[in-house]
Chain A
Amino acid sequence: MKLEPGEAFPALDLPDHTGRDRRLAELAAGDPVALLFSRGWWCPKEQRHLRELAALQDEFEVAYARIVVVSIDAPEVQAAFRAGLGARFTFLSDAERRWLPRLGLLEESDTLHEPYRPTAFTLRPDLTIHRAYDGYWYWGRPTSEDLRQDMRAISRTVREDFR
């Protein structure tokens, strides 16, 4: 499976942090998406990066763009983690590793948790990949400025009256 710019992102279907079944297209709902695959609540790098994302959500909430985080944490763990972060976006749980092997995003260096390799994608509303980030090394992750630039670029192409 190629997860590269220009390719369609697979139609993820996973339970959210409340246990409700969700589909990625439904979560996008016609808006650009920042889709992040995260190791899990225990990882200090994830805690730091998701705090950054929680700060950025104040811009997303007025800018018609979505944030979705996927991890192998169970929904109830995600709900607690999300509450602690003060996040208002959706977490999707792949605790059963249903999508992880299909996406080829296993972090092979963590045999204890078998989590997702930290990876991020910015998606157009039709779920075409705009840009991909490999965040195994922390500096490979998208900064808030990267996400702003990507959301701007996508919005410019999909909002007819964006000048």
Chain B
Amino acid sequence: MSRLPRGAAWLAFDGSGLVAGAGPGRCFMVDARCLAGEPVRGAFAHVCALPDPDAALEFDQPEVQQVRRDAMAWWIPLLGASLVCITTLALDEARYGGAITVTREPVDWDDDPFARIFPGTLLPSDLFCEVAPPAGPVVERYAGVAWPGGTFAN
């Protein structure tokens, strides 16, 4: 298991449920802010990831770059006030394992750009906190933290 960088937190997914922490299930690193405050009860988490350990791409792959651009260009504005938080799922400093979009209400998940890479599973969730969406246009990661988390500020 990779070292957990500052600003990251563990989240496990077994294909049918999410657990904060390092298991059981496949472990991902997420933007820690998504798990650090008062959780939004009764939310909906669209998990675009697979429990299969081989389901991974490099963050630098063009399709993984583009899906983050799409998130900032139209996915986040489309969700508006319904958005609770959004985080990619990092496996280590370089590899992407998926993404999670969390909303207060059900939305048209067919639009989720992250589902182009790994298919989405919709789960009810009381885990996630409200986090302001990324300001843009930065799509790079900060010191290995899952986008849009992390900062170079002291």
Chain A interfacial positions (CB closer than 8 Å to B) = 17-20, 22, 26-31, 57-58, 60-68, 79, 82-83, 86-90, 125, 159
- Interfacial chain B residues near A62, Cβ < 8 Å: 138-140
Given A88-B73, A89-B136, A19–B80 Cβ distance below 8 Å?
yes
In the bound complex, what is the Cα–Cα distance between A20 and B33 (angstroms)? 18
Asked whether B77 lies within 8 Å of A79 as measured between CB atoms, the reply is yes
Asked if B76 is an interface residue, CB under 8 A from chain A, the answer is yes
Asked whether A88 lies within 8 Å of B136 as measured between CB atoms, the reply is yes
Asked if B72 is an interface residue, CB under 8 A from chain A, the answer is yes
Asked whether A60 lies within 8 Å of B151 as measured between CB atoms, the reply is no
In the bound complex, what is the Cα–Cα distance between A63 and B140 (angstroms)? 8
Interface footprint category on B: 20 to 34
- Interfacial chain A residues near B76, Cβ < 8 Å: 18
Mark B140-151 against chain A: 1 for CB-CB distance below 8 A, else 0.
Answer: 101000000001
Asked if B113 is an interface residue, CB under 8 A from chain A, the answer is no
Asked whether B152 lies within 8 Å of A57 as measured between CB atoms, the reply is no
Q: Main secondary structure on chain A at its contact with chain B?
A: loop
Q: Main secondary structure on chain B at its contact with chain A?
A: loop
- Interfacial chain A residues near B72, Cβ < 8 Å: 88-89
Given A30-B152, A83-B74, A88-B72, A61–B139 Cβ distance below 8 Å?
yes
Picked from B69, B80, B151, B152, the residue with its CB within 8 Å of the CB of A18 is: B80
In the bound complex, what is the Cα–Cα distance between A83 and B76 (angstroms)? 12
Given A19-B80, A20-B81, A159-B152, A83–B135 Cβ distance below 8 Å?
no
**Nearest CB on A from B76, distance (A):** 7
Asked whether A29 lies within 8 Å of B80 as measured between CB atoms, the reply is no
Asked whether B133 lies within 8 Å of A67 as measured between CB atoms, the reply is no
Asked whether B151 lies within 8 Å of A30 as measured between CB atoms, the reply is yes
- Interfacial chain B residues near A86, Cβ < 8 Å: 73
- Interfacial chain B residues near A19, Cβ < 8 Å: 80-81
Picked from B74, B136, B139, B152, the residue with its CB within 8 Å of the CB of A90 is: B136
